[in-house]
């Protein structure tokens, strides 16, 4: 499941929030969350795991240029959401320790998606990506 909302919390510019939820039993690897309609910049990534997986399970937010699969996308930021062993259920994880500034910028047609590792038989939660037009 995914959705879009208009959010006006970032100082100086209105933001959009693109949200993605994963459900127990469905591995969310290689799934697109949204495609940028025009140039933009990512300002925050926030995740929450409702139920932890018993083993290791992580989700990473990536971006892929047109013609590139999510599986071959570039990681946005340096953190992954811990959805299993080592994570914390019912806690917000801010994934905003951003690596190279270029990873934050979006061109028209860039797709933001999810890569995952591990099993997702029990884990469920959500990730929200906040971005604004450039």
Q: What are 109's strand-pairing partners?
A: none
pLDDT score recorded for residue 68: 95
Q: Which residue has the tokens 């047609």?
A: 109
> CA angle at residue 95 from 100 to 39, to 5 degrees?
55
The pLDDT confidence band at residue 8, using thresholds 50, 70 and 90, is very low
| Cα–Cα distance, 129 to 34 (Å, whole number) | 9
pLDDT in tens, 78-131: 678 888 888 888 888 887 655 555 678 899 999 999 999 998 999 999 999 988
Q: What are 57's strand-pairing partners?
A: 118
Fold of 2-133: Jelly Rolls (2.60.120)
Residue extents of the structural domains in the chain: 2-133
pLDDT score recorded for residue 81: 85
Q: Please state, for a pLDDT cut of 70, what percent of the chain lies above it.
A: 84
Nearest to 63 by CA among 28, 36, 94, 82: 36
Average the pLDDT over 49-63 and give the result: 91
Q: What is the mean pLDDT of the chain?
A: 84
| pTM for this entry | 0.84
């Amino acid at each position: 499941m995914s959705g879009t909302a208009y959010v006006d919390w970032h100082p100086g510019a209105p933001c959009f929030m693109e949200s993605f939820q994963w459900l127990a039993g469905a591995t969310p690897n290689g799934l697109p969350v949204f495609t940028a309609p025009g140039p933009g910049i990512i300002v925050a990534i926030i995740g929450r795991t409702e139920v932890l997986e018993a083993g290791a399970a992580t989700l990473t937010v990536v971006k892929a240029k047109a013609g590139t699969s999510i599986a071959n996308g570039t990681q946005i930021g340096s953190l992954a959401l811990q959805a299993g062993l080592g994570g914390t259920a019912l806690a917000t994880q801010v994934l905003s320790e951003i690596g190279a500034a270029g990873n934050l910028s979006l061109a028209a047609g860039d797709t933001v998606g999810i890569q995952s590792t591990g099993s997702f038989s029990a884990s469920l939660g959500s990730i929200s990506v906040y971005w604004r037009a450039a």
